[in-house]
Amino acid sequence: MLRFLLFDYHRSFLSSFYAWRDQVYVIVFVTTLIARMMSERFLIVYVLVGMCQNVSGF
């Protein structure tokens, strides 16, 4: 509770800094999410292609 009140006080005291930092966090989070989604999709495609190659190999 005390930590939350302190955080709220700091947030109002350094609102512009926190807003900028939150924006940076959101940008980093979205970029990481997109990269993770793309890498997962690439990984799924890679696994599917590998499975197809194994099936055709047999």
Residues 47-58 pLDDT 10s: 888 888 877 765
Residues 21-54 pLDDT 10s: 788 888 889 888 888 888 888 888 888 888 888 7
- Contacting residues for 10 by C-beta, under 8 A, at least 6 apart: 18
Region for 5 from its dihedrals, namely left if φ exceeds 0, alpha if ψ lies in -120 to 50, beta otherwise: alpha
Strands, E, within the chain: which ranges?
none
Model confidence, pTM: 0.43
